[in-house]
């Protein structure tokens, strides 16, 4: 219900931006070999954008069929993420990542307190019970972010023109590696950026 509402708000914002001459940045992510790379996290950073970023509502990292769902979750700093356990077994979710170290000891159902990711960075989540379970929470401080589809495409809409840092991250990057960083000038017109991510190969 809440989500449907937010969608409407977005549509309204889009319409408003059009007025403010905001454009859409279409990023096409490729791996080192030039193939389309899915599940890449793409976001545009700038000082103006950081000011516009607000914590997301209702972010959740569910556990289903002894897997995290989604595998990669992008949230803005300050977002409280809930960890609903939809399995019948208990999970013990932890993170030793520097931007967010936490531990949700053996639980089932939805823990009472969601985990607030207040620092940007990439937190790797694991389950102490199930070693095969891994998920990443990418914490950004910009409203312009997205995840590449199976065709490697990410569309960032309503990006006001200006100077941005185009940053791309993917789970296949070496452990602890930050998102790549590249300057990008956004104009009022829509643009398509092709981005090759070395060091990461698709599944």
Partner 1 sequence: MKFQWRPTRWGLSSRIVALSLLLLLLVQAAVFSVVRISVEQSARHQVAQELQVGERVWRRLLEQNAQQLRQGASVLAADFGFRAAVSSGDIATIASALENNGARIGATITALVDTSMALRAVGETGDANDLTPVLDELVGPLSRDAQGSQVAVVDGVPHQFVMVPMKAPVLVGYVLMGFPINQKLVDDMRAISDMHLALISDGAGAKGRIVAATLPPEALQELQQRQGDVDELPDHGDVLIARSVRLDTGAAVGGVRTLLLRSLSDVVAPFRQAQVALAWITALGVVLFGIGSVFVARRVTTPLRALVAATRRLGLGQYDVPMEHMDRQDEIGGLAKAFDQMRIDIGTQQIEIRKLAYWDRLTGLPNRARFREALQQEIDSQGAVAELGRGSLAVVMLDIDRFKHVNDVLGYSFGDLLLDAVAKRLTQQDLRTGDMVARLGGDEFAVLLTQSDAASALAVAQRIAKSFELPLAFDDQTVDLSAGIGVACWPLHADDADTLLSRAEVAMYAAKSKTTGIQLYDPALDSSSAQTLSLLTELRHAIDHDELRLFLQPKIRLVDNAVVAAEALVRWQHPVRGLVPPLEFIPFAEQTGFVRQLTLWVFDRAAALCGQLRAQGLSLRLSVNLSTRDMLDVDLPARLEQILQRHDAPAESFCLEITESAIMDEPQRALATLNTLSQRGFALSIDDFGTGYSSLAYLKRLPVDELKIDKSFVMNMQEDEDDAKIVRSTIDLAHNLGLTVVAEGVENGRILEQLRDLACDEAQGYHMAKPMAADAFAHWCQRWRETQAVAV
| Sole window of 82-90, 110-118, 168-176, 192-200 interacting with partner 1 (rule: CB under 8 A) | 168-176
Q: Report the residue number, 10 or 96, with the smaller CB distance to partner 1.
A: 96
| 101 neighbors 116 (Cβ within 8 angstroms) | no
Minimum CB distance to partner 1, residue 76 (Å)? 23
- Asked if residue 61 binds partner 1 (CB under 8 A), the reply is no
Half-sphere exposure of 34 (CA within 13 A, CB side): 0
Choosing from 48, 96, 163, 182, the residue that interacts with partner 1 (CB under 8 A) is 96
| 146 neighbors 43 (Cβ within 8 angstroms) | yes
| Sole window of 23-31, 43-51, 90-98, 181-189 interacting with partner 1 (rule: CB under 8 A) | 90-98
Pairing state of beta strands 162-169 and 41-45? antiparallel
Name, in order, each residue with C-beta under 8 angstroms of 162's C-beta and a sequence gap of 6 or more: 46, 48, 185, 186
- Asked if residue 173 binds partner 1 (CB under 8 A), the reply is no
- 87 token code pair: 């399995």
- Asked if residue 125 binds partner 1 (CB under 8 A), the reply is yes
Minimum CB distance to partner 1, residue 136 (Å)? 9
Concatenating the DSSP letter of every residue in 68-121 gives EESSEEEEETTEEEE--B-SSS-EEEEEEETTEEEEEEEE-B--SSPEEE-S-E
Minimum CB distance to partner 1, residue 124 (Å)? 5
Choosing from 25, 29, 127, 154, the residue that interacts with partner 1 (CB under 8 A) is 127
Q: Report the residue number, 91 or 147, with the smaller CB distance to partner 1.
A: 91
| 45 neighbors 183 (Cβ within 8 angstroms) | no
Choosing from 126, 143, 152, 160, the residue that interacts with partner 1 (CB under 8 A) is 126
Where do contacts with partner 1 occur on this chain (CB under 8 A)? 94, 96, 98, 124-128, 131, 133-134, 174-176
């Amino acid at each position: 219900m809440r989500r449907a509402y937010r969608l409407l708000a977005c549509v309204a914002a889009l319409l408003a931006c059009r007025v403010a001459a905001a454009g859409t940045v279409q990023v096409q992510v490729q791996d080192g070999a030039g193939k389309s790379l899915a599940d890449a996290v793409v976001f545009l950073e700038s000082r103006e954008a950081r000011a516009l970023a607000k914590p997301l509502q209702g972010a959740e990292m569910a556990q289903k069929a002894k897997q995290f769902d989604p595998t990669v979750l992008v949230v803005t700093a300050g977002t409280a993420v809930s960890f609903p356990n939809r399995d019948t077994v208990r999970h013990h979710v932890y993170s030793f990542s520097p931007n967010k170290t936490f531990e949700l000891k053996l639980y089932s159902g939805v823990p009472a307190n969601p985990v607030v990711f207040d620092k940007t960075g990439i937190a790797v989540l694991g389950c102490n019970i199930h070693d095969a379970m891994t998920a990443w929470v990418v914490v950004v401080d910009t409203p312009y972010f997205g995840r590449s589809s199976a065709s490697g495409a990410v569309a960032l809409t309503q990006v006001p023109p200006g100077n941005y840092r185009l940053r791309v991250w993917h789970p296949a990057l070496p452990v602890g590696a930050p998102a790549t960083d590249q300057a990008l000038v956004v104009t009022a017109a829509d643009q398509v950026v092709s981005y090759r991510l070395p060091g990461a190969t698709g599944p």
